[in-house]
Amino acid sequence: MRYQFNVIKNLIKSSFWKLFIVYIAFYACIYCVIQINSFEITDKDFYFLVGIITKDNGGFLEYLWILFQIICTTYMSWNYLEYDNNHSKEFLYLRKSFNRIFIEKLLILCTLILSVRIIIFGISYFILKKHVYFSINDFIKSIIIYSILPLFLILYKFIKRKYINKKL
């Protein structure tokens, strides 16, 4: 497990910090757009900033923002899952069973996604706390939306490694 945390630390130092800077820049631009275009900030604006898909969403910018957040989450997940293949494949596969590696990666990736979403939701709520009402359902929606695709990536990697690579 300590190795997996070191992998995350190395990825943050090497490539994730650049992604976070781009993300923060886009987040600031989206916040400025919300401030300029709205007379009064509503829950819809908060959902837009956090990236929750609702029935009222429909603007092109909203879909682009949600797509950007999904791409960022997928990029972080894929880099994390591929780290062993690119850097230290022999270290893990010689010392641990594949199932244990799979479970560790699943736990660490879920923790990473959860912490990033908590930070995003917390910052958004802190900025707009006078204008919006906090709901635990909204928080759960903001986590579930961005956790589904990385979990599919993990399952894809597991199936590929466990069944497809064995046949070859």
Q: What CA–CA distance (Å, rounded) separates 120 from 97? A: 35
Percent helix / strand / coil, the chain, rounded to 5: 85, 0, 15
The predicted structure's pLDDT at residue 92: 59
Residue 45 included in any domain: yes
Distance CA 134, CA 154 (A): 31
- Is residue 104 in some structural domain? yes
Q: What does the pLDDT look like over 94-144, one tens digit per residue?
A: 667 777 877 888 888 888 888 888 888 888 888 887 877 777 887 887 788
- pLDDT on residue 57: 59
Answer yes or no: is 34 within a domain.
yes
Domain range for 59 is 2-163
Judged against a pLDDT cut of 70, whether residue 168 lies above it is answered with: no
d(CA 142, CA 120): 9
Q: What global pTM score does this model have?
A: 0.80
Q: What Å distances lie between residue 133 and 46, 89, 112, 114, CA to CA?
A: 9, 47, 26, 21
What is the DSSP track for 52-114?
Answer: ---SS---HHHHHHHHHHHHHHHHHHHHHHHHHHHT-HHHHHHHS-HHHHHHHHHHHHHHHHH
Count of structural domains, the chain: 1
The answer to whether residue 168 is domain-embedded is no
Say which residue the tokens 């579930």 belong to. 144
What is the pLDDT at residue 85?
73
- The single-letter code of the amino acid at 34 is I
Rounded Cα–Cα distance for residues 109 and 104 (Å): 8
| Residue 42 domain flag | yes
Q: What is the mean pLDDT of residues 23-30?
A: 89
- The answer, yes or no, to whether residue 54 has pLDDT greater than 80, is no
